[in-house]
Amino acid sequence: MNIHDEKIVILDFGSQTTQLIARRIREQKVYSEIHPFSISIENLRKLAPTGIVLSGGPCSVYDSDAPHSDPAVFELGVPVLGICYGAQLMVQQLGGAVEKADKREFGKADLSIEFTEGLFAGLEVGEGKHQVWMSHGDRIEQLPEGFETTATSEHSPYAAIRYADKPFVGVQFHPEVAHTLIGNDVLRNFIFGICGCSPNWTMHSFIEANVEAIREKVGKDRVICALSGGVDSSVTAAIVHRAIGDQLTCIYVNNGLMRTGESQSILRFFREKTKLNVIDVDASNYFLSELDGVMDPEVKRKRIGLGFIKIFEEEAHKIGEVGYLAQGTLYPDVIESVSFRGEAPIKSHHNVGGLPEVMKLDLIEPLRELFKDEVRELGLELGLPEEAIYRQPFPGPGLGIRIMGEVTAERLDILRKADVIVLDEMRKHGLYRKVWQSFAVLLPIQTVGVMGDGRTYENVIAIRAVDSRDAMTADWSRLPYDVLGVISSRIINEVRGVNRVVYDISSKPPATIEWE
């Protein structure tokens, strides 16, 4: 069986937790993918979904500019689960009524289950028995013909609904968030009970399917892999190498935007501990010249992305007949580069939005449908050592997007020295593996300070540390004050040109993990 023969398609209406729905479904070993609500019914039909989820969203279904999917979704003959906005849209499109609620529901609520088949199979009936998470200012006022109530809450008479004769179900709460204590039960009941899926989405099956697909696509051509030393490119190289062996050549480009000693350690690791054929290119002067005077973060990303492609194509020409470029694009890169409305993305990624429209090399992106934690699981399944798998993520554009404003050799030197201290102290205190990422950022401002009884006017370093599972959402890490104190003291004392250190306590959303 093909691992994509069964899939749950999620239509995104702009909820901040849409990606969590995909993650929760994949945790049940069933493949899921996210598409904009505006996908045509023809393209949706081509995806051959086993089930469809209509996500939540910030709008009201009765607004003039509210996002509406094609009502023909309900004519595809597959189960549909509506969540919050998605449930309200289902009701509206099938003939019911949704209105502004007299009493809104935000946060924890007690759910009373009245019907224990379908979504609530195996759960206890009774008043206020189950804690769920609500986030809506509208409510369903009238059900379409054929629907019935399966659960209520204090302010929602239709907190959960179902169509008696068709596999359409809806909930006003969010089963994907941790605060809904029965969330996994609800999603499991939809995936397995209503959709009839099987738990076939595993990294072992992923390897088998993708190795075969890569071999078929590549044939006898040669492939080059953009190797950065990070988890994504390392796992990409490993799975492509398993598929085509010596037809793969890995290219490591030192763009001059790496951390202290990182290029040397990366090359040493791959040459000593893997069977990959790796060549290295020092292009640090080229990238610095390309970034000269550039302030805009989008321009930085795109110049760095275009620079990588230019160098890869030059190296491919030296190697000979190369037809493909393999790179470690992940699903979050793809999602963040495509708005749910088809408008401006959150940001372009060096390996998504930064690519030229016309490339001389075709792309191979074996990780394009994976989240970061799935990539790590895949890497271990491929036999990569933990030291390669559990490195903290490092952006493809490197320190270029951790320097706010212009990138110069002098500013790179300041940031490198500060970043070494951050990582050193995180490791010393046993925190490196406990957080998702920890790093320093050089701000484009100077502030007044006092050093040795003299006035200074120098740079500010921001420290960023976040907790996350897949980079789609993240919370700032509550690092111990004494650790922050040591980091601050060391940076100010050891890095010339810095007289102030601040700590970033913003989460994603609304902020992103990287500052640019």
Phi-psi category of 61—alpha, beta or left, where left has phi over 0 and alpha has psi -120 to 50? alpha
Residue reference for tokens 């200074």: 456
| Distance of alpha carbon 333 from alpha carbon 352, whole angstroms | 7
| Distance of alpha carbon 15 from alpha carbon 32, whole angstroms | 16
Catalytic residue, candidates 6, 33, 105, 176 = 176
Q: Are 311 and 322 in contact (CB under 8 A)?
A: no
| Distance of alpha carbon 167 from alpha carbon 8, whole angstroms | 14
| Distance of alpha carbon 85 from alpha carbon 54, whole angstroms | 8
3-state secondary structure of 34: strand
Q: Are 416 and 402 in contact (CB under 8 A)?
A: no
Could you confirm whether 176 is annotated as catalytic?
A: yes
Catalytic residue, candidates 6, 33, 84, 250 = 84
Angle at 341 between CA 338 and CA 342, to 5 degrees: 45
Q: 151: closest CA among 195, 102, 189, 192?
A: 189
Catalytic residue, candidates 35, 130, 174, 241 = 174
| Distance of alpha carbon 20 from alpha carbon 26, whole angstroms | 10
Could you confirm whether 174 is annotated as catalytic?
A: yes
Which helix (DSSP H) or strand (DSSP E) does residue 271 occupy?
helix 262-273
Longest dimension (CA), the chain: 81
Could you confirm whether 317 is annotated as catalytic?
A: no
DSSP notation for 193-246: IIS-------HHHHHHHHHHHHHHHHTT-EEEEE--SSHHHHHHHHHHHHHHGG
Q: Are 155 and 99 in contact (CB under 8 A)?
A: no
What residues are labeled active site?
84, 174, 176
